[in-house]
Amino acid sequence: MANFERAPADVQEILSKPIQQLGLKLEGSPIERFVEQLYKELGAKGLNKFRPRCYLTDEWGCPNMEPVIGVPFYLADPKLQRLEAEMNDVEDARQVMMYVRHEAGHAFNYAYALYRTKEWRSLFGPFRRPYRENYRPVPFSRQFVRHMEGWYAQKHPDEDFAETFAVWLTPRSNWRKRYQGWGAMQKLLYMDRIGHQLRDADPVVAHGDTDITVDEMDVTVGEFYQRALDQQLSPGELPLDADLCDIFNVSKRRRKNVRPAVDLLRESRKVLIDKVTYWTGVQRPLVKKLIETIVAKASDLGLSADIKFERDYLTEVTAYATTMAMNYIARGKFILP
């Protein structure tokens, strides 16, 4: 609940309100311009009959293989965005468009039932492959495009296609040059050809059913976020003391050109989380917990940072957290006993 307490007073006021009573609408909200941008990009690619419906719900997604796009409700309201920023780091404009394009890829797959075709399966794999939240990617594999953080295309054939679609759709992605010589190029060329084939074709599934909408979400804002907190994984107790003391090796007697290490880490917290998540593939909530544990430990130890070497500290902390994250992928734990 500490995150709730850090939220501004006007944001805390809405914690007791049921989400369905907030009057949230996609139309006229901050997220509407991103939906309009998606439709412009689809039009620029010549997809004249494909305009997936977007609606507000509890998380990003295309529910139950339906050609509709669920958008997190907090993106429709500035107060909720501020709360989300305190709890989970709200998506910035670049990240929102990345998610929108990715989900549009799923919707396109379902709208035209591409996953049922032999060619799709030969390129991306069996659609019915079990879907695992925890997967072990092969870093730097050139058989997959890179769009969202964490080698996400390797998670499942459906995600592989959605990521391929997103790269193909993104303006100025320069995919023909960037992926030249990659195994992923065959998938991109398929997407380009299918995009041209279906430019004036009506979707096989024209109208998809939504999952839960904001008008059906009877939990309060506080209950929603408390559930999210309860479901988050934890890195557990980590023996960080000796390592962090080595990184921030500044005498406590020094006072000139020195500031608390925790201030430096807090300023760089989101960047650290973004980069470690992107390059390792560990789930963002868990990376977030790892970085927050490092920040908290630096505070508990009263560590200091020499202002002249702040870039060096951040480089070392990034390498340190990345090493632990890769250890988690390989061994299932950040630090082995």
Torsion of CA 284, 289, 291, 297, to 10 degrees: 180
Q: Within this chain, do residues 110 and 176 fall inside the same structural domain, yes or no?
A: yes
The residue among 214, 248, 270 that closes a domain is: 214
Question: If you ran DSSP here, which 8-state letter would residue 223 be given?
Answer: H
Report whether 192 contacts 168 (CB < 8 A).
yes
Q: Within this chain, do residues 136 and 78 fall inside the same structural domain, yes or no?
A: yes
SS (H, E, C) 174-186: CHHHHCCCCCCHH
Domain presence at residue 84: yes
Determine the Cα–Cα distance for residues 226 and 220; give it in Å rounded to an integer. Answer: 10
pLDDT tens across the length of the chain (337 residues): 446 666 677 777 888 899 999 999 999 999 999 999 999 999 999 999 999 999 999 999 998 889 999 999 999 999 999 888 877 778 999 999 999 999 999 999 999 999 999 999 999 999 998 887 777 788 899 999 999 988 899 999 999 999 999 999 999 999 999 999 999 999 999 999 999 999 999 999 988 889 899 999 999 999 998 887 776 667 778 899 999 999 999 876 666 889 999 999 999 999 999 999 999 988 888 899 999 999 999 999 999 999 999 999 999 999 999 999 999 888 888 887 7
Domain presence at residue 225: no
Q: Within this chain, do residues 198 and 285 fall inside the same structural domain, yes or no?
A: no
Taking the chain, what is the end-to-end CA distance rounded to the nearest angstrom? Answer: 30
Determine the Cα–Cα distance for residues 208 and 19; give it in Å rounded to an integer. Answer: 23
Residue matched to tokens 């960080």: 240
What's the gap between Cα 75 and its chain centre?
14
Domain count of the fold of the chain: 2
Domain presence at residue 336: no
**Closest listed residue to residue 20, CA positions, set 196, 214, 171, 247:** 214
Q: Within this chain, do residues 208 and 238 fall inside the same structural domain, yes or no?
A: no
Determine the Cα–Cα distance for residues 138 and 120; give it in Å rounded to an integer. Answer: 22
Domain presence at residue 315: yes
The residue among 182, 214, 246 that closes a domain is: 214
Q: Within this chain, do residues 260 and 166 fall inside the same structural domain, yes or no?
A: no
Domain range holding 290?
Answer: 234-331
Q: Within this chain, do residues 196 and 284 fall inside the same structural domain, yes or no?
A: no
Q: Within this chain, do residues 53 and 111 fall inside the same structural domain, yes or no?
A: yes
